[in-house]
Amino acid sequence: MSRTATSTFERHRRAVRAGYGLRRKHTATADDVWELYAPRGGRAVVCGSPEQVDEWLAQQPAPQDDPRWLAWCECVTERADHVRDTMLHGIENPWGPEGLAAAERATLALLPNVKAFLHLDHRRTVEDIASYLGEVFRRRFGGRWVNQPHQDVWGVGYGPVVVLDVIDMPIEAHMLVLEAVIERCGRSWAQTWALCEKPAAYTSAAQAFGIGEWA
């Protein structure tokens, strides 16, 4: 592999890890122009020479060290407990299948459609539910929260997922909330729980839907 190809590969890798897409601009001149863009909406954030793109990427915090992400993580337990205390009254085990089922029913009542899910007025609600979801799976199956920037729902620069010890694919908490809102069957999260209890089945299902690696 040539030095130029290696440099291009590394630039793409660094862009993806920072949560951005990277594309070469076609210009009327012979200049080598690259563009970093946000995955949601395709808005360009940097456009310039390879050296300018590299310099900008070098100034970005590593995903797991991003202060915005660390601040989000500090409140995970508080948000999850808020769901337990306000949405799961009378549930004997809020951190298991019974709690998941009750939380999904409550979520469907609060978020009647995708528009409601995306509405900024409901952002705190979605964040609370996503935190609860991730914590349920993390506490039962073991794992950790990981910043996966391309899972950014709100355009805030970070995307929370839970990487479990028992499976090779992440629990994308916000996407699980959205999936429940779209399907409205009331069983989406229970099905994910069942798959996590059978890791091979979960991995096969995730690969079938084209879910990529978290790292």
Q: Three-state SS for 100?
A: helix
Q: Which pLDDT does position 107 carry in this prediction?
A: 98
171 and 162 Cβ atoms separated by less than 8 Å: yes
Q: Which pLDDT does position 200 carry in this prediction?
A: 63
pTM across the whole model: 0.71
Q: Which pLDDT does position 152 carry in this prediction?
A: 82
Residue type for position 94: P
Q: Which pLDDT does position 203 carry in this prediction?
A: 59
Q: Which pLDDT does position 3 carry in this prediction?
A: 40
**Sign of the alpha-carbon torsion through 61, 62, 67, 72:** positive
Q: Which pLDDT does position 41 carry in this prediction?
A: 59
What are φ and ψ of residue 91, in 5° steps?
-85, 120
Q: CA 40 → CA 54, 121, 153, 182, distances in Å?
A: 21, 20, 8, 19
Q: CA 128 → CA 68, 72, 79, 82, 123, distances in Å?
A: 17, 11, 5, 7, 9
Strand extents, DSSP E, the chain:
21-25, 33-37, 44-48, 143-147, 160-164, 170-171
Per-residue pLDDT of the chain (215 residues; tens, 9 = 90+): 334 444 677 777 677 666 677 888 876 665 788 888 766 556 677 888 888 888 888 887 778 889 999 999 999 999 999 999 999 999 999 999 999 999 999 999 999 999 999 999 999 999 999 999 999 999 999 999 999 887 788 878 888 999 888 887 789 999 999 999 999 999 999 999 998 888 766 556 555 555 444 33
